[in-house]
């Protein structure tokens, strides 16, 4: 099967969590919106999926994954589906639920990161909310990062006998998502993230283990991987990095 991923073409965004899974597994997929418009790509392709009258179960927003006749939305939902199909999730029900629980917690963390630079909402430019962003980021770096990092470090510590992963002895989609969030924080807050990771060796090891996997390493070296940029969720504003 060739999967079709619908996500905005100029940013990593939530689509990156899905790309990492597909790339690691070597699963064939088309990043539809990155195709030329004459080939059915561009942002128009996303609008057509969201507003298509033939969709009995229309998605609210991208990312959207088309797998055969299935049209799946919501990042954790897509990852749970792919994790089971691509052997990046446990086989037992308890293990699958635990992996999804971790993914949902990572999603909570991810959303809080956006609030650092847009605490008043994305309807305002960063420059219009810089004062609020500084206040929000100060609390985020002082309290929220240690809380999330501390939790995931404990998860890894309790699974330490089975390798560098959070769930069992094999990598899961939640590991990839955690590594991506760490990478994004290192981009957005290089000083603060280095300090926070100093006392979390297992998180550092997880990040490195994910990005050393052959499929992901090839992806990082390819032109398919978009760089972090300040139009995305992870944004670097030096005045916020304390």
Name the CATH topology of 93-213.
Answer: Glutathione S-transferase Yfyf (Class Pi); Chain A, domain 2 (1.20.1050)
Specify the pLDDT at position 149: 98
Neighbours of 23 (CB within 10 A): 22
Q: What is the pLDDT of residue 52?
A: 83
- The CATH architecture of the domain made up of 3-85 is 3-Layer(aba) Sandwich (3.40)
Unique residue bearing structure tokens 């991987």: 225
Delimit the domains of the chain by residue range: 3-85, 93-213
Q: How many whole angstroms separate alpha carbon 144 and alpha carbon 196?
A: 11
- In degrees and rounded to multiples of 5, residue 76 shows phi and psi of -60, -35
Decide if 134 contacts 185 (C-beta within 8 A). no
Which of 228-232's residues contact partners 24+ apart within 8 Å by CB, and which partners?
Answer: 228/12, 228/184, 228/187, 228/188, 229/11, 231/10, 231/11, 232/11, 232/12, 232/13
pLDDT in tens, the chain (242 residues): 899 999 999 999 999 999 999 999 999 999 999 999 889 899 999 999 999 888 888 999 999 999 999 999 999 999 999 999 999 999 999 999 999 999 999 999 999 999 999 999 989 999 999 999 999 999 999 999 999 999 999 999 999 878 899 999 999 999 999 999 999 999 999 999 999 999 999 999 999 999 999 999 999 999 999 999 999 999 999 999 98
Q: How high is the pLDDT of residue 127?
A: 95
- Give every CB contact of residue 80 below 8 A, 6+ residues apart in sequence: 89, 96, 99, 100, 103, 173
CA triplet 136, 200, 110: central angle to 5 degrees? Answer: 40
């Amino acid at each position: 099967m060739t999967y079709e991923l619908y996500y905005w073409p100029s940013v990593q965004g939530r689509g990156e969590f899905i790309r990492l899974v597909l790339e690691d597994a070597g699963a064939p997929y088309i990043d539809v919106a990155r195709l030329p418009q004459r080939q059915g790509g561009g942002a128009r392709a996303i609008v057509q999926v969201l507003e298509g009258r033939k969709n009995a179960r229309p998605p609210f927003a991208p990312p959207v994954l088309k797998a055969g006749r299935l049209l799946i939305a919501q990042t954790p939902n897509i990852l749970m589906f792919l994790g089971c199909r691509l052997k990046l999730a446990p086989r037992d029900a308890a293990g699958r639920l635990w992996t999804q629980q971790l993914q949902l917690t990572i999603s909570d963390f991810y959303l809080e990161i956006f609030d650092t630079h847009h605490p008043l909402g994305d309807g305002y430019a960063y420059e219009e909310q810089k004062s609020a962003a500084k206040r929000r980021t100060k609390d985020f770096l002082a309290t929220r990062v240690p809380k999330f990092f501390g939790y995931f470090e404990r998860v890894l510590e309790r699974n330490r006998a089975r390798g560098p992963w959070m769930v069992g002895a094999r990598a899961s989609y939640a590991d990839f998502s955690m590594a991506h969030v760490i990478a994004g924080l290192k981009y957005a807050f290089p000083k603060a993230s280095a300090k926070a990771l100093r006392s979390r060796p297992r998180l550092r090891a997880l990040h490195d283990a994910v990005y050393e996997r052959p499929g992901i390493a090839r992806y990082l070296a390819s032109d398919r991987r978009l760089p972090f940029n300040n139009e995305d969720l992870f944004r670097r504003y030096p005045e916020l990095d304390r």
